[in-house]
Structure 1
Amino acid sequence: MNEQNVLLKAVDIHKSYPQGAGELEILRGISLDIKEGDAFAILGSSGAGKSTLLQIMGTLDRPNKGELYCEGRDLLAMNDEELSKFRNSEMGFVFQFHHLLGEFTALENVMIPCRVGGESIRVAKEKAMHLLEFMGLAERADHYPNQLSGGELQRIAIARALVRHPKILFADEPTGNLDSMNGGKIQELFFRLKEEMKLALVVVTHDLTFAARFPKVYRMKDGLWV
């Protein structure tokens, strides 16, 4: 693929945190292209830097050094407000824990990115309900998080991540908090959604079986590719 097919380009990403009199290096020069239609898993032991890389690629954190572009736009030149608007329209995120808001129903949780993005209640509700129906959760739309199972909660979190039709979906250990049956269902759902919505899919996982289903697998150790 040529450069025009690259959605996100990370170049020589470094990240460290102060530790005592020195610094703790997490990423030590990582480069990666995410292309249209990509699907890959990132593997590595705890502390390898996988989640930190995901957060930087997703503009949830900034590197100490490096470059990050989305379709030619310099993301690191944007201020926090600009990045927030960009993330809300271009990227989706799913984490190990669902992070749903307990005071809102399933439907209301899925609507949140649309409302933050300035869409009307009617449009937000239509989009959210469409995704809940796709995931077989229409009958759970008015339920609150404490009334739902772990698998249902994660599917709702995925719907929330996708409600604005992002180009890239980032997932950090998305099945790590589920039993094997529900974890398998969520894995199937990711691949269905990737095809249906023409997403680029980037997943951090410790699950070797899950990773083996991806056409590409990257491995990290000590903040570098191996």
Structure 2
Amino acid sequence: MKATDIHKSYSHAQGELEVLRGVSLEIKEGEALAILGSSGAGKSTLLQIMGTLDKPTRGELTCEGRNVLTMTDEELSQFRNQEMGFVFQFHHLLSEFNAVENVMIPCRIAGESPKLAKEKAMHLLEFMGLAERATHYPNELSGGELQRVAIARALVRHPKILFADEPTGNLDSTTSGKIQELFFRLKEEMKLALVIVTHDLTFATRFPKVYRMKDGMWV
């Protein structure tokens, strides 16, 4: 995936707020990189644009040669469902569904049968060490367990890129360390590209490639 000269502005009562100021970034197959910066630097906005959850004010975004910005909403939804996984600071699990049902959701959206979706979900929960928690609901899980379920949901369709936005920001140091180790293990075993946004310098410097952002630009 390649982002070229990405700008993003928001209109408000006082005028234009420029969040990204000509940022370019290329993600290669199987690559791991971190985007480091303080709150408000623009790193989450860039991640949302590269994840096709938002559109730039101007710039280009291509994936395997395809112009992502010209896709229809339906094409984008299918593209995200197949090619990308997302993990956020907050797990965003649905409270009315148990762990395995939450992980199944992307498969069901893609039209897979309940049986196949459940098999895939259970396989990932077992990999995460959560097989015994599969029928537990979000309010019955710890913070680390919730985030592992969210990671399983992000990976159930075997995406090529996993985007994670402050994935350990709400966790204690011990749990955070375990989740960090899990990301690197998943990257190697699933052969996916891993893009992490964080303000945690210790986490970021574990990556072979680190980009630092300030005021919407690389520094």
What TM-score, normalized by structure 1, do the two folds share? 0.96
Structure 2 residue aligned with 1:210: 203
Distance in 2 (alpha carbons) for counterparts of 1:29 and 1:80: 25
Aligned with residue 75 of structure 2, among 82, 88, 101: 82
Q: What residue is the counterpart of 1:186 in the other structure?
A: 179
Deviations 1:139-173 (A, max 9, x none): 00000000000000000000000000000000000
- Amino acid in the other structure paired with 2:49: I
Secondary structure of the 1:202 match is strand
* 1:113 matches 2:134: no
User: Which residue of 2 is the match for residue 138 of structure 1?
Assistant: 131
Question: What does residue 3 of structure 1 align with?
Answer: none
Instruction: Identify which of 6, 29, 40 aligns with 2:33.
Output: 40
1:91-170 matches, cutoff 5 A: 91-170=84-163
Q: How much does 1:128 deviate? A: 0.4
Q: What number of residue pairs does the alignment pair up?
A: 219
- How far has the Cα of 1:21 moved from its partner? 4.3
Counterpart CA distance in 1 for 2:205 and 2:218 is: 18
One-letter code of the match for 1:105? N
**Shift of residue 46 of structure 1?**
1.1
Instruction: Say yes or no: does 1:68 pair with 2:61.
Output: yes
User: What are structure 2's unaligned runs of at least 5 residues?
Assistant: none
Mapped to 2, the partners of 1:47 and 1:153 lie a distance apart of: 26
Which of 26, 40, 46 lines up with 2:19 in the alignment?
26
Amino-acid identity (%): 83
Aligned counterparts of 2:38 and 2:104: Cα–Cα separation in 1: 35
1-structure distance, mates of 2:190, 2:14: 48
TM-score of the aligned structures, taking structure 2 as reference length: 0.99
Residues 18-41 of structure 1, C-alpha deviation per residue, up to 9 Å, x if partnerless? 022420000010111000111011
Question: Paired residue for 1:197?
Answer: 190
CA RMSD after TM alignment = 0.6
Superposed CA deviations along residues 55-93 of structure 1, whole A, max 9, x for unmatched, are: 000000000101101101110000111101100110000
Unaligned runs of 5+ in 1: 1-7
